[in-house]
Structure 1
Amino acid sequence: MKPIKVMIVDDSAVVRQVLASVLAADPAIEVLGTAADPLFALSKMEREWPDVIVLDVEMPRMDGITFLKKLMAERPTPVVICSTLTEKGASTTMQALAAGAVSIVTKPQVNLSKFLVNASDDLLGAVKAAARANMRQLAKSKTPVQPKLGADAVIPAGQPAMARTTERVVAIGTSTGGTQALEYILTALPRVCPGIVIVQHMPERFTAAFAERLNGLCQIEVLEARHGDRVIPGRALIAPGGRHMLLKRSGAQYLVEVVDGPPVSRHKPSVDVLFRSTARAAGANATGIIMTGMGDDGARGLREMYEAGAQTFGQDEASCVVYGMPKEAKKLGAVGREIALEQIPAQILRAERA
């Protein structure tokens, strides 16, 4: 197989050197070159176009988001954002993901030598997943921004309490390509929909900015989950980066526990953890959906949901950016039915009426 050709764009010479060293050490990857900003990168890329671009966000002359939008409009190319782990950077990076980046890898502000040891697997995995990304589907995942409604549009004054004691829960797991797919799904949902719990593989701190961004776009409420948050209709809870999220039942109500622990299926948060807890807490009252992503996290957990009587769905290959996680779940017999991304919002609404 031909090596994956990578261009690195970052204004820090030290970062460029470290990233190039990590990538060049893998025989499956060829570093075409490095550039201090997008304009330098474009001049080099005219000679030979890369398969994947590793891109910083804040740079001189042209910022990463402007460059990314230009790429997606003129020549869609898989992009991995390599961003510093800061609250300010998280918000900016969310804009980059919305513009079409495939995934995020965090780089440290200090002690870059540790990066070689601690994050090299993440970087290599992200680049290899990006090289297989379905860019046509990534572009299709965009959705127009919908207006933000006030609280009384969600819960009209004087509305009586729900008579049903056992509520439906929808559990979703996704990774590479999932930020765009989740935006498509959640912005399509009306304010009356089942409670949703989500694991999106994403570094610590970025999940808060991701949830905040979605909350500003959606009719439903979207939050980064906190320990003890209730799962209620019209609300989606996103597991915080660096922590696991479990569904628990208390009487007729559902809530989440946010806990520490080792990575499961090499991830924290892990889809397998969420799905297993959903199988135990909700059983046949749940719907499980596994979506675009690299690897097999969630496959075993979805199988447990299926065996507990839950409805289970896998995103189909044609609509995935990376058909990894749904494929592995299907191989285990965990997927009751495969559906396209465009069908998922309607399926979530059917879960409420089941």
Structure 2
Amino acid sequence: MSAPVRVMLVEDSLVVRQLLAHIVSRDPRLALVAAVASGEEALREIHRVSPDVISMDIRLPGIDGLETTRRIMAERPTPIVVVADAVEDASLRISMNALRAGALSVVEKPVGTGHAAYEAISGQICTQLRIMSQVPVIRRRAIGAERLGRPVPDLPAEAFREPGIPSHVAVAASTGGPPAFARLLGALPADFSVPILLVQHMGAAFMEGFADWLNGVVPLRVVLAQDGVRPVAGHVYVAPGDRHLALGPAGLLATSDEPPVGGQRPSATVLFRSLARVAGPRGLGVLLTGMGEDGAAGLRDMRAAGAATIAEHESSAVVYGMPAAAVRLGAAGSVLPLDLIAPRLLRAVQPGVPAPGGPVPGGAA
């Protein structure tokens, strides 16, 4: 039997800290090695206890959880799971920025043992701590920056050929997604000429806050998708919490509570398959960082329908699970590092117009 995952808790509330300690201690696959009340204590203790994963509060006295995350990722990179209050706007913004600084996921704070949702939330916390403890993390200033510094293999000219001007773009990610979306969408202009549909695996309670945060850091208009809305250019439509997002036959957005696909709702495969059906060769699908295989089968369907498909290259992906699955299935027409995907999208929607920064390395002149 493998050794239990070593967990350090960072939480200033004594009540919540004790509750988290109880939750962690009752899971035999986890071992509580430290429980501290401040970022300063966390930075001191991390070298002594060498945790495999850290549960990070955001609203801390002294240096907050965001700054603590930044320092840990710069000094002693360790997987971090943010445990946040989903209803506090300030906490949500800090939580999203902590993901951008290197934290891997965000989960809801635990509720009291008598609450109906106690077991579900407790289980989610333990699952995230176990899963994220296995993610290799690197010393970084901004998530993915050093990965993009690695040598990238020469990419064939075929990877940059345009199959036609797309009418819709679909993008999806899981672990590492929020900062990846901030970089990708942040490199597109506010007048990007097609709508973008987005799936991010994240707790339902955080999706509205995620959309609001993303709207504040990219030029495009980012909103939660609503059933029956016709998507328009320059807008990003985020799948709501615990609901699938699809493009309907009439070109309208459709959200549903149909069963999860591959364990996920929203599912990237559901979104991609809808574009394969409705947009055909005028769809464009992008699958970014994430654990598991969600999206790979849907991206394959898009490619079979004649659409352009892109998977993130291993050199920039925080977790090369979902993109790797797409590559194995032959679903990816292009495999590109994160910073080359936005120029590729611009070339697709504006054929003949060079993307900012000149020709794309590895592509045709």
TM-score range, shorter chain: 0.7 to 0.9
> What does 1:80-119 align with in structure 2 at a 5 Å threshold?
80-88=81-89, 89-111=91-113, 117-119=119-121
User: AA paired with 1:322?
Assistant: V
- Once the two structures are superposed, what CA deviation does each residue of 1:101-158 show, in whole Å capped at 9, x if it has no partner? 2111112444477566313553344334433445348644479xxxxxxxxxxxxxxx
1:305 counterpart SS class:
helix
2:103 counterpart SS class:
coil
Distance in 1 (alpha carbons) for counterparts of 2:333 and 2:24: 39
Deviation at 1:75, TM superposition (A): 3.0
In 2 relative to 1, CA 25–305 (structure 1 residues): closer, same or farther, beyond 3 Å? Answer: farther
In 2 relative to 1, CA 178–18 (structure 1 residues): closer, same or farther, beyond 3 Å? Answer: same
2:263 counterpart SS class:
coil
Among residues 294, 308, 317, which one is paired with 1:297 in the alignment?
A: 294
- 2:363 maps to none
Instruction: With the length of structure 2 as denominator, give the TM-score of the two structures.
Output: 0.80
User: AA paired with 2:12?
Assistant: D
> What does 1:336-351 align with in structure 2 at a 5 Å threshold?
336-351=333-348
Deviation at 1:52, TM superposition (A): 1.7
Preserved contact between residue 100 and residue 143 of structure 2 (Cα < 8 Å) = no
Pair 1:126-2:128 in alignment: yes
Preserved contact between residue 137 and residue 319 of structure 1 (Cα < 8 Å) = no
User: AA paired with 1:310?
Assistant: A
Distance in 1 (alpha carbons) for counterparts of 2:139 and 2:331: 24
Which 5+ residue runs of structure 1 have no aligned equivalent? 144-165
Deviation at 1:29, TM superposition (A): 4.0
In 2 relative to 1, CA 344–209 (structure 1 residues): closer, same or farther, beyond 3 Å? Answer: same
- 1:285 maps to 282
1:104 counterpart SS class:
strand
Deviation at 1:341, TM superposition (A): 0.7
1:293 counterpart SS class:
coil
User: AA paired with 1:328?
Assistant: A
In 2 relative to 1, CA 342–171 (structure 1 residues): closer, same or farther, beyond 3 Å? Answer: same
Preserved contact between residue 134 and residue 320 of structure 1 (Cα < 8 Å) = no
1:119 counterpart SS class:
helix
Preserved contact between residue 211 and residue 224 of structure 2 (Cα < 8 Å) = yes
Distance in 1 (alpha carbons) for counterparts of 2:35 and 2:81: 14
Distance in 1 (alpha carbons) for counterparts of 2:130 and 2:321: 12
- 2:245 maps to 245
User: AA paired with 2:104?
Assistant: V
Preserved contact between residue 303 and residue 329 of structure 1 (Cα < 8 Å) = yes
Distance in 2 (alpha carbons) for counterparts of 1:226 and 1:80: 29
Deviation at 1:170, TM superposition (A): 1.0
- 1:7 maps to 8
- 1:189 maps to 188
Preserved contact between residue 101 and residue 141 of structure 2 (Cα < 8 Å) = no
2:297 counterpart SS class:
helix
- 2:235 maps to 235
Quick check: 312-321 or 217-226, which moved more? 217-226
Which 5+ residue runs of structure 2 have no aligned equivalent? 146-164, 352-365
- 1:274 maps to 271
In 2 relative to 1, CA 43–353 (structure 1 residues): closer, same or farther, beyond 3 Å? Answer: closer
Deviation at 1:249, TM superposition (A): 4.1
- Once the two structures are superposed, what CA deviation does each residue of 1:261-301 show, in whole Å capped at 9, x if it has no partner? 33322222111221121211111111111110111111221
| Greater than 6 Å deviation, 4+ residue runs | none
2:35 counterpart SS class:
strand
In 2 relative to 1, CA 73–272 (structure 1 residues): closer, same or farther, beyond 3 Å? Answer: same
Preserved contact between residue 142 and residue 184 of structure 1 (Cα < 8 Å) = no
> What does 1:323-338 align with in structure 2 at a 5 Å threshold?
323-338=320-335
Deviation at 1:13, TM superposition (A): 4.0
Deviation at 1:167, TM superposition (A): 5.4
User: AA paired with 1:198?
Assistant: L
Number of matched residues?
Answer: 329
> What does 1:53-92 align with in structure 2 at a 5 Å threshold?
53-88=54-89, 89-92=91-94
- 1:209 maps to 209
> What does 1:38-57 align with in structure 2 at a 5 Å threshold?
38-57=39-58
- Once the two structures are superposed, what CA deviation does each residue of 1:228-279 show, in whole Å capped at 9, x if it has no partner? 23222221111112222111242xxx33112223332222211122112121
In 2 relative to 1, CA 31–142 (structure 1 residues): closer, same or farther, beyond 3 Å? Answer: same
Distance in 2 (alpha carbons) for counterparts of 1:174 and 1:345: 15
Alpha carbon RMSD of aligned pairs, Å? Answer: 2.6
- Once the two structures are superposed, what CA deviation does each residue of 1:186-229 show, in whole Å capped at 9, x if it has no partner? 11001332311110111224222222222222222121212223
Distance in 2 (alpha carbons) for counterparts of 1:138 and 1:184: 15
Pair 1:306-2:303 in alignment: yes
User: AA paired with 2:103?
Assistant: A
Preserved contact between residue 19 and residue 110 of structure 2 (Cα < 8 Å) = no
> What does 1:312-323 align with in structure 2 at a 5 Å threshold?
312-323=309-320
2:309 counterpart SS class:
strand
Distance in 2 (alpha carbons) for counterparts of 1:142 and 1:300: 26
